[in-house]
């Protein structure tokens, strides 16, 4: 390639960078990032991009290659459009000489996709090239692992992804910290590992990966991935109902970055965290603001199912369960691999669907969802929903037993019993059994509400319990939506037990009357009273509700 005016080319590339990139953003519009770098690091990154532009203007492709090798992730974050223009000027022989460069071009192009999918035609030669080396650079090994991880996640092979992440973490511990390119690539690798662990449902491991992302990115000079690490860690906290902790990691003001940028792809976790925090703290105005910033890239992204989870939560707050239930059922049909029964997304969304059925008063439909084969029995979202199902059927003992059993088998501190929703449900179960004092369960629930800001959990508390929790937490009472109405504790008298057993054996009132030696009108009166006590509307409802009662 022949350049007749080096200064004009250089000025064009630098102008593209400073104005935001011709493909990434509208020229002249300032970049909008969710969490800007420190001023000195912004200035340093600007100089780096200018250095890249100068090397390209001189057609010094060896220098371009060296710059990309040491700081590609920074360049890609700062201005994918400028990097794309630099690579568009490079000769074909430059790419053929080193597959790493062809992969860089494919990674730049992938920024435009909602899931950041890199062309496999560029990945495969690169992986083969790295594999053929006796001692490949650690940076190249990690990039290969990251691309393999992305492929696992794309095909919803979360178990394979989790195992591969464990191997990657072991490899990282054996690599010299000062190896070439490591400070640049490590935040991106750790962020990818965290996403894989999150999608596999291993939230503790995901939090560790995101914390390490922040640690690596916070070194000198600060890496731009620090904001992404904080957004992803906030999402883990929000999924664990730790809304105050999540909010502390998010910037006070947030405006979405332009499409076609790394920021637009990677900020989705922080956006979803902000949405869950707003709903979980009953901040309807804040939730509406975030919903307005949601676009198709969020719905289509690998974390898009969390948006469905947030919409289900909002539907419970608004007490409009059916539209959200229909959306969930449709999502199970169109995304069967991502929402398989054994997957984390599948478990959370099925818990949401059962919760919506419970709010709609269709407990039998909720029971069918909760009885789906292969659902992980100790998944906290499911445990809370099953415990609530027991409370809705007037079985507080069963609700407490479910939460106690999950606490005994859960290996992390995020067990359902210690989440705000589980703690409130447990305190409500104790209250239904006659506990009226300042019990440890009530104090734990109040502490969870105050510490985590999880006002949403109060939806599962009857008014009397809610008042006690507000008092213990030192908060003024406020209106809390109540999508569920719990059934009073069901205890059948000996006579009611006789009616229930007769109802189990006979369908007709005349047959029940004959079996109990009473008149048909008296039998009808007893049956209706039994229905009211069980909260049933028909014989089938009564038999279904009473099937597990301790009678």
Kindly state whether residues 473 and 511 are assigned to the same domain: no
Whether residue 308 contacts residue 328, with contact meaning beta carbons closer than 8 Å, is answered with: yes
User: Which domain range does residue 420 map to?
Assistant: 392-489
- What does 164-218 look like in DSSP terms, one character per residue? HHHHHHHHHHHS-TTSTTHHHHHHHHHHHHHHHHHHTT-HHHHHHHHHHHHHHHT
- Is 332 among the domain residues? no
Please state the rounded mean pLDDT for residues 351-358: 98
Kindly state whether residues 507 and 481 are assigned to the same domain: no
Across the chain, mean pLDDT equals 87
DSSP element (H, E) containing 78? helix 61-89
Kindly state whether residues 529 and 543 are assigned to the same domain: yes
Q: Which of 63, 88, 122 is the last residue of a domain?
A: 122
Residue 505, Cβ density class (10 Å: 0-12 exposed, 13-18 middle, ≥19 buried): exposed
pLDDT at 32 over 80: no
Residue among 122, 130, 90 at smallest CA distance from 106: 122
DSSP state of 118: P
Q: Which of 442, 470, 489 is the last residue of a domain?
A: 489
- The pLDDT, as a whole number, for residue 305 is 97
- Is 410 among the domain residues? yes
- Cα separations (Å) of 66 from 17, 60, 259? 19, 10, 28
- The pLDDT, as a whole number, for residue 549 is 60
Please state the rounded mean pLDDT for residues 154-158: 94
Residue among 88, 3, 74, 2 at smallest CA distance from 41: 74
**Number of domains within the chain:** 3
| Residue 538 belongs to domain with CATH number | 1.10.10.10
- Cα separations (Å) of 75 from 89, 118, 169, 313? 16, 17, 25, 38
Please state the rounded mean pLDDT for residues 29-41: 49
For the four alpha carbons of 536, 539, 544 and 549, in that order, the dihedral sign comes to positive
- The pLDDT, as a whole number, for residue 349 is 98
Residue among 420, 424, 403, 399 at smallest CA distance from 240: 420
DSSP element (H, E) containing 127? helix 120-131
CA distance 415 to 404: 10
- The pLDDT, as a whole number, for residue 36 is 54
- Is 409 among the domain residues? yes
SS3 of 32, please?
Answer: coil
pLDDT digits (tens, 9 = 90+) for 415-443: 899 999 999 999 999 998 886 656 899 99
Kindly state whether residues 454 and 540 are assigned to the same domain: no
- Is 4 among the domain residues? yes
Residue among 144, 132, 65 at smallest CA distance from 105: 65
Per residue, the 3-state secondary structure of 469-520, as one string, reads HHHHHCCCCCCCCCCCCCCCCCCCCHHHHHHHHHHHHCCCHHHHHHHHCCCH
- The pLDDT, as a whole number, for residue 407 is 80
Cβ neighbours around 382 below 10 Å, total: 23
Report the Cα 358 to chain-centroid distance in Å.
23
Kindly state whether residues 18 and 107 are assigned to the same domain: yes
pLDDT at 550 over 80: no
Percent with pLDDT over 70 in the chain: 89
Most confident stretch, 152-156, 177-181, 256-260, 538-542: 152-156
pLDDT at 6 over 50: no
pLDDT digits (tens, 9 = 90+) for 264-298: 989 999 999 999 999 999 999 999 999 999 999 89
Kindly state whether residues 506 and 482 are assigned to the same domain: no
CA distance 264 to 227: 12
Kindly state whether residues 438 and 509 are assigned to the same domain: no
CA distance 309 to 485: 22
Kindly state whether residues 481 and 528 are assigned to the same domain: no
Kindly state whether residues 467 and 534 are assigned to the same domain: no
pLDDT at 23 over 80: no
- The pLDDT, as a whole number, for residue 114 is 60
- The pLDDT, as a whole number, for residue 140 is 94
Kindly state whether residues 440 and 465 are assigned to the same domain: yes
Kindly state whether residues 480 and 504 are assigned to the same domain: no
- Is 258 among the domain residues? no
- Is 445 among the domain residues? yes
- Is 92 among the domain residues? yes
Q: Which residue's entry shows tokens 């696992």? A: 152
- Is 399 among the domain residues? yes
CA distance 354 to 183: 45
Q: Which comes out higher in pLDDT, residue 187 or 487?
A: 187
Question: pTM here?
Answer: 0.85
Q: Which of 122, 141, 167 is the last residue of a domain?
A: 122
Residue among 96, 199, 186 at smallest CA distance from 154: 199
pLDDT digits (tens, 9 = 90+) for 229-270: 999 999 999 999 999 999 999 998 888 998 888 999 899 999
Percent with pLDDT over 90 in the chain: 60
Please state the rounded mean pLDDT for residues 67-93: 89
Q: Phi then psi for 354, rounded to 5 degrees?
A: -65, -40
Please state the rounded mean pLDDT for residues 289-310: 94
pLDDT digits (tens, 9 = 90+) for 310-350: 999 999 999 999 999 999 999 999 999 999 999 999 999 99
Kindly state whether residues 426 and 535 are assigned to the same domain: no
């Amino acid at each position: 390639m022949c350049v007749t005016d080096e200064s004009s080319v250089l000025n064009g590339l630098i102008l593209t960078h400073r104005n935001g990139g011709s493909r990434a953003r509208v020229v002249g519009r300032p970049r909008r990032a969710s969490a800007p770098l420190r001023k000195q690091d912004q200035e340093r990154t600007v100089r780096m991009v200018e250095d890249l532009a100068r090397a390209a203007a001189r057609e010094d492709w060896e220098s371009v290659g060296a710059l990309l090798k040491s700081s590609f992730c920074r360049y890609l974050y700062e201005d994918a459009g400028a990097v794309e223009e630099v690579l568009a000027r490079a000769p074909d022989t430059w790419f053929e000489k080193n597959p790493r460069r062809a992969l860089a071009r494919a990674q730049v192009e992938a920024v435009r996709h909602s899931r950041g999918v890199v062309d496999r035609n560029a990945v495969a030669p690169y992986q083969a090239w790295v594999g053929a080396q006796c001692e490949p650079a650690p940076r190249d090994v990690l990039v290969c692992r990251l691309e393999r991880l992305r492929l696992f996640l794309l095909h919803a092979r979360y178990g394979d992804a989790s195992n591969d992440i464990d191997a990657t973490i072991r490899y990282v511990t054996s690599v010299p910290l000062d190896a070439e390119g490591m400070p640049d690539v490590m935040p991106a690798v750790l962020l990818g590992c965290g996403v894989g662990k999150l999608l596999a449902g291993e939230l503790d491991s995901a939090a560790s990966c995101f914390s390490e992302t922040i640690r690596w990115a916070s070194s000198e000079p600060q890496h731009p991935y620090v904001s992404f690490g904080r957004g992803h860690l906030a999402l883990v906290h929000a999924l664990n109902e730790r809304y105050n902790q999540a909010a502390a990691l998010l910037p006070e003001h947030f405006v979405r970055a332009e499409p076609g940028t790394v920021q637009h792809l990677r900020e989705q976790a922080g956006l979803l965290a902000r949405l869950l925090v707003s709903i979980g703290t009953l901040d309807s105005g804040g939730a509406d603001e975030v919903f307005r910033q949601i676009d198709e890239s969020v719905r289509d992204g690998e974390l898009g199912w969390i948006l469905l989870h947030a919409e289900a939560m909002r539907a419970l707050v608004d007490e409009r369960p059916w539209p959200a239930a229909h959306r969930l059922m449709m999502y199970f049909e169109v995304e069967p691999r991502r929402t398989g029964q054994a997957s984390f997304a599948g478990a959370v969304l099925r818990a949401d669907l059962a919760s919506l059925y419970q709010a709609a008063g269709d407990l039998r439909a909720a029971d069918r969802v909760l009885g789906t084969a292969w659902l992980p029995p100790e998944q906290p979202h499911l445990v809370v929903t099953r415990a609530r199902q027991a409370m809705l059927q007037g079985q507080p003992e069963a609700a407490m037993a479910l939460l106690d059993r999950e606490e005994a088998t859960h290996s992390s501190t995020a067990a359902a019993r210690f989440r705000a929703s589980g703690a409130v449900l447990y305190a409500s179960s104790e209250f239904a059994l006659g506990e009226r004092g300042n019990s440890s369960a009530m104090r734990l629930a109040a502490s969870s509400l105050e510490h985590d800001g999880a006002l949403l959990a109060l939806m599962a508390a009857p008014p009397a319990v809610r008042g006690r929790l507000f008092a213990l937490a030192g908060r003024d009472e406020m209106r809390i939506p109540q999508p569920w109405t719990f059934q009073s504790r069901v205890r059948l008298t000996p006579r009611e037990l006789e009616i229930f057993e007769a109802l189990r054996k006979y369908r007709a009132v005349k047959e029940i009357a004959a079996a109990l030696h009473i008149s048909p009108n008296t039998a009808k009166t007893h049956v209706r009273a039994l229905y009211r006590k069980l909260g049933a509307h028909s014989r089938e409802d009564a038999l279904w509700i009473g099937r597990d009662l301790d009678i």
